[in-house]
Amino acid sequence: MKIASFDGNRIGLIVGDDIVEIVPAASGAAAWPPTGMVRFISDFEERREEIERLLASGPRLPLASVRLETPVPWPNKVVAFPANYHEHIAEMKDGLISTFKNGGQGFFLKASSSLSGPSDPIELPAVDGREIHHECEMAIIIGKGGRDIPVERALDHVFGYACLVDMVIRGKEERVMRKSFDSFCPVGPWITTADEIADPANIALELRINGEVRQSANTANLIVDIPNMIAMASSVMTLYPGDIIATGTPAGVGPVEEGDVLDIQIEKVGAMRLPVVRGARGKNPVWDKPAA
């Protein structure tokens, strides 16, 4: 199944060129915070028959007539793994691969409020003299939560996958600050459920800027693989349904500029086309010094 958020946190399933509404928008006190998808994921297995019934009988709308939103707008957390493909490590620094083999770098968090969706532009902050880079990543969406999840059972905890762009200001400041501007974590265009991905360790991903391929990789070349990422994250933190894990970038990161068009495409998962705009927000003296 391909499960989307649309038009004000309604939840629907993509069927061909249509979307079938499964959960209408919440109203009143239930409308905020927008945690409907977290609840939907949490209840998915027990509601599966009902969901399949609604698939046949729910209101059906042309996909082109709705506005898709980031599928999980209010997760408990967004976990992110650093550079996680052999070629990118070579690009960043020779000899780091052995450090990474056992996940030596660990992981970090991005603010959940940095999430944006397939219909939202990436807004560059009003920060001068810094490069702002794209990182092309596959997102894991956690289904069943847990702590100390063993590697061999980790894939049972995956609800699905999505495209994710990890945007970052290059520099030495704390990584969370450089990576957590609003719209610095586009995720979408929907969640493709794990049952549609026979082998998550063999998925091609690609990112283009203005049509030119900048990043092209396959999850077969991940250093810390998906089960080990889930085991590592859950060794520290309880994972909850709807939590998002950014699986780390392959080689080819590079700057984006105002006016660029960024395309991200992940085999069997989906694709997003995102315009890059420059906003007026984001100024702070912390960015005034040079990056290096």
Position 5 contacts Mn ion (CB under 5 A) = no
Least Cβ distance, residue 216 to Mn ion (angstroms): 16
User: 133 vs 144, which CB is nearer to Mn ion?
Assistant: 133
Q: Is 21 in the site for Mn ion (CB under 5 A)?
A: no
Contacting range for Mn ion; rule: CB under 5 A; set: 58-66, 108-116, 132-140, 281-289: 132-140
Closest distance to Mn ion from the beta carbon of 19 (Å): 30
Tell me the residue nearest to Mn ion as measured from the CB: 166
220 to 259: interface string for Mn ion, x by CB under 5 A = -----------------------------x----------
For residues 241 and 244, give the distance between their C-alpha atoms in angstroms, rounded to a whole number. 9
Provide, rounded to whole angstroms, the least separation between the CB of residue 94 and Mn ion. 20
Cβ nearer to Mn ion, comparing 3 with 83: 83
Of the pair 135, 243, the CB lying nearest Mn ion is at 135
Per rule CB under 5 A, count of chain residues that contact Mn ion: 3
Near Mn ion in 165-224, by CB under 5 A: 166
| Minimum separation from the CB atom of position 7 to Mn ion (A) | 30
Distance of closest approach, residue 262 Cβ to Mn ion, in angstroms: 14
Pairing of strands 136-142, 270-278: unpaired
CB of 135 to Mn ion, least distance (A): 4
Nearest residue (CB) to Mn ion, 166 versus 243 = 166
| DSSP assignment string, the chain | -EEEEETTTEEEEEETTEEEEEEPPP-GGGGSS--HHHHHHHHHHHHHHHHHHHHHHS-EEEGGGS-EE-S-SS-S-EEE--S-BHHHHHHH-TT-HHHHHTTTT--EEE-GGGEE-TTSPEEE-S--S--EEE-EEEEEEESS-BSS--GGGGGGGEEEEEEEE--EE-SSS-HHHHH-STTSEEEEEEEEEGGG-S-TTS-EEEEEETTEEEEEEEGGGBSS-HHHHHHHHHHHS-B-TT-EEE----S--EE--TT-EEEEEETTTEEEEEEEEE-S----GGGSS---
Does the protein bind Mn ion through residue 135 (CB under 5 A)?
Answer: yes
User: CB neighbours of 27 closer than 8 A, spacing ≥ 6?
Assistant: none
Return the number of the residue (11 or 139) whose C-beta is nearest Mn ion. 139
Which range binds Mn ion by CB under 5 A, 40-48, 88-96, 127-135, 192-200? Answer: 127-135
Rounded CA gap, 160 and 89, in Å?
27
- Supply the minimum distance, in Å, between the C-beta of residue 273 and Mn ion: 20
Whole-number minimum distance, CB 248 to Mn ion, in Å? 6
Select the span of 37-45, 104-112, 158-166, 192-200 touching Mn ion (CB under 5 A). Answer: 158-166
Nearer to Mn ion, 120 or 135 (CB): 135
Question: Which residue, 17, 214, 5, is CA-closest to 120?
Answer: 5
β-strand 115-116 against 185-193: which pairing, if any?
A: parallel
Residue whose CB is less far from Mn ion, 192 or 247? 247
What residues make contact with Mn ion under the rule CB under 5 A?
135, 166, 249
